[in-house]
Amino acid sequence: MSASTRLTSTLCRRAAATASTVTPHTAASRRSTAAAVRNVRCLSSAPSNRLRQPNVAAVASRLNSARRPLSTTPNRRSAIDEDEASFDPASIERESDEVDVCIIGGGPAGLAAAIRLKQLANEAGNEEFRVLLLEKAGEIGAHILSGAVIQPTAINELIPGWLAEDNENRFTGATPAGSDSMKFLTKNWAIPCPAPPQMHNHGNYIVSLNEFTKWLGERAEEVGVEVYPGFAASEVLYRPDGSVKGVATNDLGIGRNGKPKDTFERGMEFHARVTLFGEGCHGSLSKQVIKKFDLRSDSQPQTYGLGIKEVWEVQPEKFEKGKIVHSMGYPLPADTYGGAWMYHFGDNLVSIGQVVALDYSNPWLSPYGEFQKLKQHPLYKSTLEGGKCISYGARALIEGGFQSIPKVAFPGGALIGDTAGFVNLPKVKGTHNAMKSGMLAAEAAWNALSQTTDAGAVFLYDYEDSLRKSSIWKELHEVRNMRPSFHSPLGIYGGIMYSGLEAFVLKGRVPWTLKHKVQDHAATKPADQCKKIEYPKPDGKITFDILTSVSRTGTNHEEDQPVHLQVKDWDKHTTETWPKWKGVENRFCPAGVYEYVEDQTKKEGVRFQINAQNCIHCKTCDIKAPNQDINWQVPQGGEGPKYYMT
Which residues are marked as active site? 146, 395, 431, 589, 615, 618, 621
Q: Cα(248)–Cα(241) distance, rounded to whole angstroms?
A: 18
**Cβ contacts of 640 within 8 Å, gap of 6 or more:** 136, 137, 142, 143, 555, 556, 557, 615, 616, 617
Beta strands in 145-189 (DSSP E): 149-150, 175-176, 180-185
Longest dimension (CA), the chain: 75
Q: Cα(150)–Cα(541) distance, rounded to whole angstroms?
A: 30
- Give CA torsion, residues 34, 40, 46, 50, to 10 deg: 60
Q: Alpha carbon 51 to chain centroid distance?
A: 28
Burial of 140 (0-12, 13-18, 19+ CB in 10 A): buried
User: What is the 3 state secondary structure string of 487-538?
Assistant: HCCCHHHHHHHHHHHHHHHHCCCCCCCCCCCCCHHHHCCCHHHCCCCCCCCC
Q: Are the CB atoms for 565 and 595 separated by under 8 Å?
A: no
Q: Cα(608)–Cα(599) distance, rounded to whole angstroms?
A: 9
Q: What is the DSSP string of 380-427?
A: HHHHHTT-EEEEEEEEEEE---GGG----EETTEEE-GGGT---BTTT
Apex 578 CA angle, 576 and 583, nearest 5:
135
